[in-house]
């Protein structure tokens, strides 16, 4: 008699929804991001017990409460540190870090830099709405110069930072971008982030309809997105605007070319996710000079922090065992002793 | 051959420039002394600067050791022997040398330009300022040079071996065997330094024997220590080992998140070498990342530890609150140093007690335990892990620079005899709620992510009493604040033990000294000294600062007067007054230096009533 292996029922998106009432404002872009993440969790069939969502402080950092997995809503800016400790002692877990532009780039900028350079195997979702929402409308490190907010009535004199260029400066091994309302592209990017071994940094443009409504409309509105977004595919030429325009390299600078009239897709730059020099160019491309690159900008495998830390433990143990059983008493006794009596 | 004169108790100090190898000299003398069977206590004192300009006061490094044929609890108030390798070392240390004490100077460094560097105007070897001491001038440089001639070493390298010449002289004076240090030199150095250091050591020994500069040589008989196997151990070492043993007794891997800071960094260095015992060490990007990673590790089912000093504690405040709120086990070690701000990085102080007790936003009670001696760091580390895992709470462990770098002989404990306290991770989903508590300890269940059916969310926002869900209701918040406080209050703390004159609330004794942390040795010795001279005085030592022992108020009320000596401006006295309403009198010292026994004795004399005074 043979026994059929017990087939666990497939997990659906609903299985990743917690029983907590979602407290984001109606119309908040976070709803769409939560829904895409839950859909991807189900597509990937990540066992709920192995899924951990870690966040800092801010509107987006309420995320863990709404996913029926393990979750840790930590303190402002420090989620990468908690995630690093967690993943290091428990590398089997799928750890997703959800953060915002203030949390990741202002108060937690230091930790963001270090978690990326260490390449801790995490999915990092930086939900960027260019404003402080939870504290009710102050400018953020990605707010545009001159932005008038409650704390900058005459306009901000801070220059905004470029999250993806910053991530590449930390030698991040995976850098991508998507938009809250680009649901399919967002799911593709989240899936790629999950499949990447290492710190996968995903910037997601999000609309705060209360304090910064229309933050990204000039790029992502249906009427303009084809002209102003460049959707990247590895190995494919950088063509946009319905095939009418493309990106070409002139010296070290990208330029926009009109296709047709002798110029074809073959004349365009071909996207290579593994090329860090190309990534540096793409990360700097911004509207209105250029269309904004979307999708996976850079992806290159390198050893992860958590794996190497655990390898050292295994190696040290093996090296010690080769000399004899590991003896706690020997540690306490030490090498130099003397006897009394 | 000089006759051997027996001494009971000796305090000797080696002082020189940071580059003179005084710490090596001191620790070698310590090891040899320990092997000879004396009880001992050491205190290294070094500058914060790695290499201050040579010959200046800022660069003076010292190492004091007291060794004895009886139990000693402190490294001694004042040395009777001082080795001064240059004028700066002489200037910085001479005030401590006992009148009539032996002063050995390295003659070649007493030149006009050396005086200038040390900021002195006349030659102390000739101006009569040292007349109260037995001055011995030794041309160490010349003799070291002669001893190692032919090894092809440069002047600078020759200079680096003269500390072994000084050590050799000290060994002769105290009738010590050279074998231990010779063996150590063999393992530590390559040729030609191995040969050079060995020759310098022997030359110093032979010189002392030959030239009869010293009136006598001394023998300090073995101390009557309890039988057993002993090692000499520094506070930071004992603490590191204690953390490893504690985690093993809890049955969980140890994770240390730490950012380098004096005087705690040695714990990070030490634990980094214990990976074979399941110890993960993470040098974080800053103090906050250090504690954040430790909290993440504890959430993941490991014993999260962080080690730091006062300025680092200041940065960890918010995260400690997170551990309080999420009720995860965590041990935060603060090796205290002089503050505020950067303060005195390499000097000792006890001024972070209130920071440990109250230094967080909100009502955030944390268990606080303090070590009393270098070897006690081992026991306290285990105790901290036990409390953290039993009650699911952060524990702050206080030591200080004096304990961290001080050493004493340690009777090696039998590890198998230390009781285990294995953690039981919850795996049963039936009836699970994240904040349902154990009726006795009030601990919530510890669940490792990865356990099916127990998925839950925690965070810094107030929790609903049982489910742990976000909750802002007024009465729930009040209930949770009381529960978190009650949980700490339920940590089992042994009653205070009183040594010396007894008293009761009905029939109070005269004078009680209450100590905490590293002052234990000086207070105990001061009280013993006073009692031997007829003073009526008692001593009690607090190991747990929060919660306090249940009998604390009763013990304090059992004496007419209570003194609280501490290396701060009276922080424990303040706490005790609040907790017990007893009008405790602070005895404070904030010089970056430990109490001397004589200072404690003086305080006892000052505060004793005429009727309780002895015949001193």
| Residues in Cβ contact with B174 at an 8 Å cutoff, skipping those fewer than 6 apart | B10, B33, B217, B218, B219, B220
Out of 3.40.30.10, 1.10.1740.10, 3.40.50.920, 3.30.70.270, select the CATH number for domain B498-612: 3.40.50.920
Of B226, B299, B457, the CB nearest to A86: B299
| Separation between Cα atoms, residue B72 and residue B80, nearest integer Å | 16
- Residue A340 C-alpha, separation from nearest chain B C-alpha, in angstroms: 5
Contact state of B455 with A332 under an 8 Å Cβ cutoff: no
Cα gap A293→A287, rounded to integer Å: 10
User: Position of tokens 């590991």?
Assistant: A326
Residues of A in contact with B285 (CB under 8 A): 110-111, 113-114
Q: CB distance B459–A85 less than 8 Å?
A: no
- We find that the CATH architecture of domain A13-216 is 3-Layer(aba) Sandwich (3.40)
Per-residue pLDDT at A80: 98
pLDDT tens digits for range A266-304: 999 999 999 999 999 999 999 999 999 999 999 999 999
Q: Which of B296, B413, B460 sits opposite A85 (nearest CB)?
A: B296
Interface touch B304/A85, C-beta < 8 Å:
yes
CA distances from B251 to A329, A331, B388 (A): 16, 17, 13
Predicted pLDDT at B19: 85
Helix residue ranges, H only, B515-567? 520-532, 552-557
H or E segment and range at residue B143: helix B140-147
CB contact under 8 A, A74 and B302: no
Q: Which ranges in chain B are annotated with CATH 3.40.50.970?
A: 231-417
pLDDT of residue A129: 97
Angle in degrees, 0-180, between the axes of helices A79-89 and B287-299, rounded to the nearest 10: 50
Q: Which residue of A has its CA nearest to B453?
A: A49
| B455 part of contact set with chain A, CB < 8 Å | yes
Residue B581: count other Cβ atoms within 10 Å of its Cβ: 11
Q: Which residue of B has its CA nearest to A321?
A: B276
Cα–Cα dist B568/B572, whole Å: 9
Would you give the end-to-end CA distance of chain B in angstroms? 40
Pairwise CB contact (< 8 Å): B229 & A339: yes
With a threshold of 0.90, tell me whether the complex ipTM lies above it. Answer: yes
Q: What angle do CA B430, B422, B370 make, to 5 degrees?
A: 120
Under a CB-based contact definition with an 8 Å cutoff, are residues B535 and B616 in contact? yes
The answer to whether the beta carbons of residues B427 and B453 sit under 8 Å apart is: no
Question: Shortest CB distance from B278 goes to which of A52, A74, A313?
Answer: A313
**Cβ of A312 under 8 Å from any chain B Cβ?**
yes
pLDDT digits (tens, 9 = 90+) for A117-153: 999 999 999 999 999 999 999 999 999 999 999 999 9
In terms of C-beta density within 10 A (0-12 exposed, 13-18 middle, 19 or more buried), how is residue B489 classed? middle
The CATH fold assigned to B231-417 is: Rossmann fold (3.40.50)
pLDDT of residue B2: 65
Assign a CATH topology to domain B4-219.
Answer: Pyruvate-ferredoxin Oxidoreductase; domain 3 (3.40.920)
> Using CB atoms and an 8 Å cut-off, which of residues 268-297 of chain B contact chain A?
274-278, 280, 282, 284-286, 288-297
Are B249 and B385 within 8 A, CB to CB?
Answer: yes
Residue pair B324/B543 in contact (Cβ under 8 Å)? The answer is no
pLDDT band at A3 (very low <50, low <70, confident <90, very high): low
Of A96, A159, A105, A112, the closest CA to residue A129 belongs to: A105
The residues spanned by each domain of chain A are 13-216
Angle, in degrees to the nearest 10, between helices B22-35 and B179-188: 130
In the predicted model, residues of chain B with pLDDT beneath 50 are 616
Q: Look at residue A255 and tell me whether its pLDDT is greater than 60.
A: yes
| CA dihedral (B572, B573, B576, B577) positive or negative | negative
Confidence check: pLDDT of A314 > 70 = yes
Which of the residue ranges A38-47, A234-243, A296-305, B213-222 would you say has the lowest mean pLDDT? B213-222
Write out the H or E segment, with its range, that includes residue A292: strand A292-299
Cβ <8 Å between B300 and A114: no
Residue from the list A69, A73, A89 with its beta carbon closest to the beta carbon of B455: A69
Q: Which of A52, A86, A111 to mutate to test the interface with B (most CBs of B within 10 A)?
A: A86
Q: In this predicted model, what pLDDT tens digit does every residue of A91-100 receive, in sequence order? A: 999 999 999 9
* Alpha carbon distance B195, B488 (integer Å): 58
pLDDT score for A132: 96
Give the tens place of pLDDT for each residue, B385-429: 999 999 999 999 999 999 999 999 999 999 999 999 999 999 999
Per-residue pLDDT, A4: 66
Q: What is the pLDDT of residue B47?
A: 82
How far is Cα B172 from Cα B188, in angstroms, rounded to an integer?
Answer: 23
pLDDT at B158: 83
Q: Tell me the residues of chain A between 107 and 166 that have a Cβ less than 8 Å away from chain B.
A: 110-111, 113-114
B433 to chain A, any CB pair closer than 8 A? The answer is no
Mean pLDDT of chain B: 95
């Amino acid at each position: 008699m043979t026994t059929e292996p017990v087939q666990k029922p497939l997990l659906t998106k609903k299985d990743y929804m917690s029983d907590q009432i979602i407290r984001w404002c109606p119309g908040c872009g976070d709803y769409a991001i939560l829904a895409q993440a839950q859909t991807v969790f189900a597509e990937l069939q990540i066992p709920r017990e192995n899924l951990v969502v870690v966040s800092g402080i801010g509107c987006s950092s309420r995320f863990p409460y709404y996913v029926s997995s393990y979750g840790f809503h930590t303190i402002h800016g420090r989620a990468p540190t908690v995630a690093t400790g967690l993943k290091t002692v428990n590398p089997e877990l799928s750890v997703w870090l959800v953060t915002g532009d203030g949390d990741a780039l202002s108060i937690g900028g230091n930790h963001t830099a270090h978690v990326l350079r260490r390449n801790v195997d995490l999915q990092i979702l930086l939900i960027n709405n260019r404003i402080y929402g939870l504290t009710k409308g102050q400018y953020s490190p990605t707010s545009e110069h001159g932005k008038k907010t409650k704390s900058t009535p005459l306009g901000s004199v801070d220059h905004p930072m470029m999250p993806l260029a910053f991530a590449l400066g930390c030698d991040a091994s995976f850098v991508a971008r998507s938009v809250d309302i680009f649901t399919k592209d967002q799911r593709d990017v989240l899936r790629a982030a999950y499949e990447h071994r290492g710190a996968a940094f995903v910037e997601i443009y999000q609309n705060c309809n209360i304090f910064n409504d229309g933050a990204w409309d000039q790029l992502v509105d249906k009427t303009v997105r084809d002209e102003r977004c460049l959707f990247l595919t590895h190995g494919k030429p950088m063509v946009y605007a319905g095939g009418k325009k493309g990106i070409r390299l002139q010296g070290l600078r990208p330029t926009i070319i009109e296709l047709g009239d002798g110029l074809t897709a073959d004349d365009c730059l071909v996207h290579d996710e593994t090329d860090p020099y190309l990534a540096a160019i793409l990360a700097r491309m911004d509207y209105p000079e250029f269309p904004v690159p979307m999708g996976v900008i850079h992806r290159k495998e390198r050893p992860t922090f958590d794996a190497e830390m655990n390898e050292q433990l295994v190696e040290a143990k093996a090296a010690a065992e080769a000399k004899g059983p590991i003896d706690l008493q020997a540690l306490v006794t030490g090498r130099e002793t003397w006897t009394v009596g | 051959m000089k006759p051997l004169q027996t001494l009971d108790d000796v305090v000797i100090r080696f002082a020189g420039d940071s580059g003179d190898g005084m710490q090596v000299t001191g620790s070698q003398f310590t090891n040899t002394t320990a092997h000879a069977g004396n009880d001992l206590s050491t205190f290294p004192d070094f500058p914060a600067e790695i290499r201050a300009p040579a010959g200046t006061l800022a660069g003076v490094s010292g190492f004091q050791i007291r060794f004895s044929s009886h139990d000693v609890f402190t490294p001694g108030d004042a040395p009777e022997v001082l080795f001064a390798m240059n004028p700066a070392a002489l200037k910085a240390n001479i005030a401590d040398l006992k009148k009539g004490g032996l002063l050995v100077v390295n003659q070649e460094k007493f030149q006009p330009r050396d005086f200038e560097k040390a900021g002195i105007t006349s030659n102390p070897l000739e101006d009569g300022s040292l007349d109260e001491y037995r001055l011995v001038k030794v041309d160490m440089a010349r003799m070291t040079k002669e001893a190692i001639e032919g090894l092809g070493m440069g002047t600078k390298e020759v200079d680096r071996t003269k500390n072994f010449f000084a050590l050799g002289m000290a060994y002769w004076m105290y009738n010590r065997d050279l074998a231990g240090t010779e063996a150590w030199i063999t393992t530590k150095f390559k040729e030609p330094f191995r040969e050079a250091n060995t020759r310098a050591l022997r030359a110093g020994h032979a010189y002392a024997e030959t030239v009869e500069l010293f009136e006598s040589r001394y023998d300090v008989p073995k101390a009557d220590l309890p039988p057993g196997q002993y090692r000499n151990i520094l506070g930071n070492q004992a603490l590191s080992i204690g953390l490893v043993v504690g985690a093993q007794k809890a049955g969980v891997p140890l994770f240390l998140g730490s950012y380098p800071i004096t005087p705690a960094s040695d714990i990070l260095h030490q634990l980094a070498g214990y990976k074979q015992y399941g110890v993960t060490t993470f040098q974080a990007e800053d103090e906050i990342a250090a504690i954040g990673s430790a909290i993440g590790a504890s959430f993941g089912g490991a014993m999260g530890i962080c080690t730091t000093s006062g300025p680092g504690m200041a940065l960890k405040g918010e995260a400690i609150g997170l551990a309080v709120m999420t009720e995860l086990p965590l041990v935060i070690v603060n090796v205290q140093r002089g503050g505020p701000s950067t303060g005195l990085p390499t000097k000792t102080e006890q001024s972070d007690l209130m920071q440990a007790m109250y230094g967080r936003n909100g009502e955030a009670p944390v268990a606080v335990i303090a070590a009393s001696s270098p070897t006690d760091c081992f026991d306290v580390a285990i105790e901290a892990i036990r409390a953290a895992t039993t009650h699911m709470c952060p524990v702050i462990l206080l030591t200080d620079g004096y304990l961290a770098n001080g050493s004493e002989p340690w009777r090696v404990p039998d590890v198998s005899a230390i009781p285990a306290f294995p953690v039981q991770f919850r795996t049963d989903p039936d009836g699970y709620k994240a904040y349902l508590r154990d009726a006795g300890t009030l601990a919530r269940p510890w669940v490792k992510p990865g356990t099916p059916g127990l998925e839950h969310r925690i965070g810094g926002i107030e929790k609903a009493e049982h489910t742990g869900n976000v909750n802002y209701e007024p009465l729930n918040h009040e209930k949770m604040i009381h529960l978190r406080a009650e949980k700490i209050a339920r940590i089992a703390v042994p009653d205070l033990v009183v040594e010396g004159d007894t008293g009761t609330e009905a029939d109070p004794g005269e004078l009680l000294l209450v100590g905490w942390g590293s002052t234990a040795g000086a207070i105990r010795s001061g009280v013993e000294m006073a009692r031997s001279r007829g003073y009526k005085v008692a001593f009690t030592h607090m190991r747990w600062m929060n919660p306090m022992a249940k009998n604390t108020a009763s013990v304090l009320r059992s004496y007419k007067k209570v003194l609280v000596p501490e290396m701060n401006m009276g922080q424990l006295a303040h706490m005790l007054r609040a907790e017990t309403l007893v009008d405790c009198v602070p005895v404070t010292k904030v010089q970056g230096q430990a109490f001397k026994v004589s200072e404690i004795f003086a305080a006892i004399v000052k505060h004793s009533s005429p009727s309780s005074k002895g015949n001193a």
